[in-house]
Amino acid sequence: MWFEGDSWSRRASAARALMRAANGLGSRGVESLWFASAAAAGRVFQPNVRRWTSSPPERVLVIAPHPDDEAAGCAGTLIRHRRAGDIVRLAVVTDGSRSRALGFDKTAMAEQREREAAAAAAHLGARLEWMAFREGEWSDPEGREAIDRLLAEMDPTIVYAPSNIDFHPEHRRVAEVLAATLSRCRRKPEIRIYAVQVPLTPLLTNMVSDVSDLEASIRFVFGCYASQQGSLLSSLRARRYAACFYQGNGLAEGFCTMPPDLYIARHSRPLARFKPMAVRAWTDPLTLIVGMTERIRWMNTT
């Protein structure tokens, strides 16, 4: 019969390939619609945000829960800092060993991701601090001690940080540990929250960095993380949405800036539910809607 043996296998494979192609084409069409919607919303609301600048020599510390979070959230802006003459230090808290990519075991994955982080840091012009905490197996006191040591050693003027506006438990945990560490130290760096897969949305974004001319460099940094390409795709799309909304040229990175005291206060709130951006663009508007109430509460936390 026509459906037996290799013939059926070939037909099934061709059908799957056709469905993937249709999904990709449909997703790109939906992206165009979302981009146009973001641009229209920006023209209507005309958001008033601070534009990124630097007054070197700034001392910039990036706290990344996993190797690649800094790339997803602020790669272009970190390159801007280095080109302005600022000192940049990248602290990767966990080894990312729980990633299921490539079929590696935990040890091999940790080694792979350390190599990837080193390559990315070199292109960013950042000094890498590999804390090497095994993902999901470290204690809060260990994290506080390590971060406190970095703060004392570097005395940063700016800290790029994760937050509880996130779905990933390790991202949230690192943010809470950072907040606890800041609550016990005298240093008062400016905190700049970056988004990984959950957008801050215009409700919380108060600083925008136009990185349109750095797309090739950003893509190169993404390419350093060979094991994490799928999860990084959506962050490039997020940059395009931000550029559309804030009337930029092509790519923009948005941040929520605040003093340490406000960062501490906002991380004393109970955890809320958020939706990350997926590889495809179909459900992107839901990432803005899910968790909107908590974003509004954050705005009102003083």
Is residue 21, in this structure, part of any structural domain at all? no
pLDDT tens digit sequence for 179-233: 999 999 888 999 999 999 999 999 999 999 999 999 999 999 999 999 998 889 8
Is residue 16, in this structure, part of any structural domain at all? no
pLDDT of 264 above 70: yes
CATH classification of the domain holding 94: 3.40.50.10320
Is residue 66, in this structure, part of any structural domain at all? yes
| Token digits of residue 86 | 């600022």
Is residue 67, in this structure, part of any structural domain at all? yes
Q: 56 is in which domain, residue-wise?
A: 51-271
How many domains does the structure of the chain reveal? 1
What does the alpha-carbon distance between residue 251 and residue 209 come to, in Å, rounded to a whole number?
9
**CA angle 57-266-242, nearest 5°?**
60
Per-residue pLDDT, averaged over 293-297, amounts to: 97
* Residue 2 DSSP one-character state: T
Residue 188: predicted pLDDT = 92
Is residue 5, in this structure, part of any structural domain at all? no
pLDDT tens digit sequence for 75-91: 999 999 999 999 999 99
Is residue 142, in this structure, part of any structural domain at all? yes
Measuring CA to CA, which residue among 85, 84, 108, 88 is closest to residue 98?
108
Is residue 30, in this structure, part of any structural domain at all? no
